[in-house]
Structure 1
Amino acid sequence: MSDTQPIAFTSIPVVNIADLWSDSLTDRKKVAFEMGQAASAVGFLYVTGHGIPADKIKALREASRQFFAQPLEQKMQYYIGASKSHKGFVPEGEEIYGSGKPDKKEAFDVGFQAPDDHPLVLKGTPLIGANEWPDLPQFRASILDYYESVFALGRKLFSGFALALNLPEDHFESMVTCPPSKLRLIHYPFNADAEDRPGIGAHTDYECFTMLLSDQPGLEVMNEKGDWVDAPPLVENGEEALVINIGDMLEVLTAGQFIATSHRVRKVSQERYSFPLFFACDYHTLIKPLPQFDSQEQSYKELSIGEHMYSQALQTYRYLREKVANGEAALPERATGVATFGHLKKHKN
């Protein structure tokens, strides 16, 4: 057996996904192969040719600036801790990741538009329910317009990942009907005295994969050696690329063939906006290694996608941590700890 170690990645691959919409299966498979290679070797990739109109991105940014420019007391009227379904305003210091220190950012979280009479809502399923919207001109319309576009892109990417795994293109389609897929509007305020240190602690994303739009450098990705690799914004032919990263659930499905690579946000002085959509399957979907990856050697246990996401939130958000501490909430039976997946798991061990 060779002692040769794989070469650690030093940059993020770029994949033009325009041919995922091609009428040619051969063309679609070619793109899927490139996606699969990036998911296996890095766990991150830039995608161009995604087709999200620039005007929708512009409206998203304008609406976000309008919201975050308000006084704190105005924003706190939509505090996530008062939400019935874990949505709304997240003030600075609310989230704590692997570093154990509060994050230097604020956010507004928007979920999948589940109607009030949906069975999951009627049953009080965590993370599923209506959004509460600030009374700001065009805010709701602009955010939902972008959400619908990027969510549709997520469906198309999921079909590409299915092809990369030698599955039918529609393999995952029935698993995505009313998912806890969250779009986050994240604002990092300007700080002229900022030191070069993380703004968000190292972590993996809980869901299947993430689609990120950002306007400033700061994102860093951990490679196999534990080194941090920059993933700055990328523009090609006038189009803003999206950063796609594999989440915990695709790592479980592939028993580690696709890796949920650890990442963090470096603290930078510039004001920065970041817009990740975390693409998930439905809450009660059970995730376990696909048959072609299932073996006695792998250690991935079956997870409920919703339970996994909710358990991570219970261990991250201050208001939920307090509910767990005082007995108002409890971790799901199959809850996993933080730092369970990806390269972060390897270096933690």
Structure 2
Amino acid sequence: MNELLQTLIQSPSLIFSLLTSGHPDQRSKFIQELGKACQEWGFFILVNHGIPENDMKAMFEAATEFFNMPAEEKQQYEPKNVSDPIKCGNFNVKDTSNHTFTLWRDYLKLYVHPEFHCPLKPDILREALLIYSERTRKLARALLEAISETLELEKGYMEETLNLESLFQLFAANLYPPCPEPDRAIGIPPHTDHGLLTFLIHNGVAGLQIQHNGNWFNVNSPQNSILVNTADQLEIFSNGRCKSVKHRAVLNNEKTRISIVVANGPSPDAIVGPAQPLVARDGRASYLPMKYTEYIEKQLTKSQVNGKPLLEQMMIQDEK
């Protein structure tokens, strides 16, 4: 990898309990820092978030049990369609733009809200996932309400416009075994996420990198914290104020890395475009609207126009 790689020493870190403390000054500080993180970085590390450590551990235990199941039991969940609500797979070779690279990971992806989907085995997965998805959903809605406040929108505007009662939630567990040649493979190539906010926790083994001002940075969130990154629909809804951060997963040759990801998006039926109060404030919309399920489908099929990712295709160019 030829890009300049640096260690991000001062990742934006937010204390969620300040938002719910009942002290106006502390809440105001959190709102201010949240707005800055979303607009300048596109990610932040969230601590004191209220999700019990045992619930997070239960997800790692359940994911590990799933990955350890015999291959023939997992085969039934191999994807037949990109939009299958339950799918799993393993590392394979990809070829894009005449560049061949190896994706070195096992994964399990599940649609868990507004409809809940889960494999029958392992037995511990269903209960752990029901609890964790409900807790992260509540956290996501609280953060999105706070982000709406940073955008100076009326209370409840985002909730109602995007129908967050029925927000779409995707769960993913990723297993990255030690790779004998980590410089010749990658866990997940550079990409942005399609939703509003994505939550990530890991088993103590670092491997996430984010792009900031054209450079790649290592991000190592502390144990029991949640790394939150803003995604495409939030950039569109905020008319470009919040940045959908590009990120990737890299490998090592010593330790197995497991990440648990929950992507939180609008209601599947929501048509997402820039918020009208922000368009009025800016004098123009910077993005085209699109139904969220259509956006997911297009991103999953990796449809590009002239090499542009979907988010860039949605941008409305300035008239000259």
Alpha-carbon contact 1:189-1:271 (below 8 Å) kept = yes
Matched, 1:241 2:241: no
Verify the 8 A CA contact 1:207 1:278 in the aligned structure 2. Answer: yes
Structure 2 Cα separation of the partners of residues 29 and 291 of structure 1 = 25
- Name the counterpart of 2:278: 293
Q: Confirm or deny: 8 A CA contact 1:112 1:178 kept in the other structure.
A: no
Tell me, yes or no, if the aligned pair for 1:40 and 1:257 is still in contact at 8 Å. Answer: yes
Contact 1:10/1:223, CA 8 A, preserved across alignment: no
Kindly indicate whether residue 134 of structure 2 is the aligned counterpart of residue 148 of structure 1. yes
Decide whether the 8 Å contact of 1:80 with 1:86 is kept in 2. Answer: no
The aligned amino acid for 2:86 is K
What is the CA-CA distance between 1:229 and the residue it aligns to? 0.8
Unmatched runs of 5 consecutive residues or more in structure 2? 1-7, 314-320
Residue 207 of structure 1 contacts residue 247 of structure 1 at CA under 8 Å; is this kept in 2? yes
Alignment of 1:217 with 2:206, yes or no, is yes
1:132-190 per-position Cα deviation (integer Å, ceiling 9, x unaligned): 42332312111221111111111111111111111244333231133331011111122
Paired residues, what number? 298
Gaps of 5+ in 1: 1-8, 115-128, 317-330, 343-349
Q: More deviation in 71-80 or 91-100?
A: 91-100
Per-residue CA deviations over 1:53-110 (Å, capped at 9, x if unaligned) read 0111111111111110122222112223279743232333398889774522111112
- Equivalent AA in structure 2 for residue 18 of structure 1: S
Conserved 8 A contact 1:87-1:131: yes
Aligned to 1:170: 156
Q: Answer yes or no: is 1:254 the counterpart of 2:254.
A: no
Tell me which stretches of 4 or more aligned residues in structure 1 moved more than 6 Å: 94-100
The correspondence for 2:178, drawn from 190, 200, 204, is 190
What is the CA distance between 1:26 and its match in structure 2? 4.9
Deviation string, structure 1 residues 179-212 (Cα, Å, up to 9, x no partner) = 3310111111222443375321111111111111
TM-score in terms of structure 2 length: 0.83
User: Superposition RMSD on alpha carbons, in Å?
Assistant: 2.9
Does the CA-based 8 Å contact 1:85-1:130 persist in structure 2? no
3-state SS of 2:165 partner: coil
Structure 2 equivalent of residue 306 of structure 1 = 293
Q: 2: CA distance between counterparts of 1:94 and 1:76?
A: 19
Q: Please list the CA deviations of residues 319-341 of structure 1 after superposition, one character each: whole Å capped at 9, or x if unmatched.
A: xxxxxxxxxxxx9xxxx952635
| Cα distance in 1 between the residues matched to 2:218 and 2:277 | 33
Q: What is the percentage of aligned positions where both structures have the same residue?
A: 21
User: Given the two structures, how large is their TM-score scaled by the length of structure 1?
Assistant: 0.76
Q: Shift in Å at residue 298 of structure 1?
A: 5.5
